[in-house]
Every structure is written in C-alpha cells, then in structure tokens.
Amino acid sequence: MANPLLDRVLPGDLADLSQIIDFKGKVGDFGRLRDIAEYELQSVSTAERPRDWLGLPVEVRLEFSWLDTGREFVQAGGRIGATLPAVCQRCLAAFELVVDTPVRVVFGQPGSDLADDDYDAWEFDGTAILLQDVVEETVVMALPLAPLHDADSECDALAAKCPKSGPETTRPFADLRSQMEAKDTGSKR
C-alpha cells in the first residue's frame, strides 16, 4: 500500500477536492519518530526494549477544506494516534506511550495573517509539501516532556515506594492533650 503522506502535494489542491486521508502505518514509516524513539531507547538495555517497536501503530486521519471564502487559507483537521516506545522518567523502564492528538492546522503563505488560537500555523511558499512532515511535527509537539507510565501500578518506582500494608504507627503524644487537661482540672481544686 502506498503512503499518501509521502506524496508532495499542494494544500490548495487537497482543499479543492475536500480530500480525506486515512493512513495506518507504523513507527518505522516515519523517520523523525523512529529517530526520536531510537534516541530514547539508548538508555535501556536491548532486552528491556519493547519488541518490534518499529512496528508500533501510527494512525492518521486528515480532512482538508478551505478556511475562508477568499481561498487563501487551507485547513486540515483530524486526529493522529501513535504508540511510541518511551522510557519512564520515574522508574527508567521502557514502556509503550500512547499519543492521541487532534490536528488543527491552517496552511498559508509566509507573511499572511495566520494568527488564530484554534489552529497551528504552517507556512509554505506555494511549493508542494510532504504531509508526513506535518504529521511528525504534530506528534512531536504532543509528546510529554517527561514520559511516565499511565498507571501508578505499572511504574516500578512507585510500586517500591508504596508498600501494600505498612507497620502500625505508634503515636506517643496522641493522648497528651487530654492528659494535660485532666492535670489542669485536678490542680485547680
């Protein structure tokens, strides 16, 4: 199956066709995501790395249309879901990080007023672009600065810190106030 994200396209052509792109690939299909994952996994032994991490899924859905009636700005909306290998910053164990992020991009010429809080701006000079670049940039921006396991029970560092049942705590001064009040009451007589 051909990867439509690797075709050089003009965003305006995609908007003219109201193009919808659905692509199911894997991390190995995306050079930048592959490089980030390889760098991340350098800190763990080969045996601890997720098996076949290059085959982890990346799913893309993009819908193109014109944002304005003057046909100056193209919008792309949709969703990207990716599973990437990562290293938990608490326990330093490798795990699979699921990234699910919406896509709201507006394409326009450099110098045009692309400022809009609802969209990420992508300037292009009228030449064809690779949609894979847009997908990779969106996923990279959605990555957490410090990846952590989703559940505390999966993280070895938290499991070690939180014993299942702790020793009973002795509180030597728990009854001190009542003893002092009894002493004060007895000394006032």
**Contact (CB, 8 A) for 138 and 80:** yes
Give pLDDT, residue 135. Answer: 96
Spatial distance between the Cα atoms of 165 and 160, rounded to a whole number of angstroms: 12
Residue pLDDT, tens place only, 118-133:
888 888 888 899 999 9
How many residues make up the chain in this entry?
Answer: 189
Q: Is 48 helix (H, G, I), strand (E, B) or coil?
A: helix
Tokens for 25, please give them.
């690939």
pLDDT grade for 164, boundaries at 50, 70 and 90: low
Residue with tokens 């949609």: 131
Domain layout of the chain by residue ranges: 4-151
**Contact (CB, 8 A) for 105 and 134:** yes
**Contact (CB, 8 A) for 76 and 64:** yes
pTM, two decimals, is 0.77
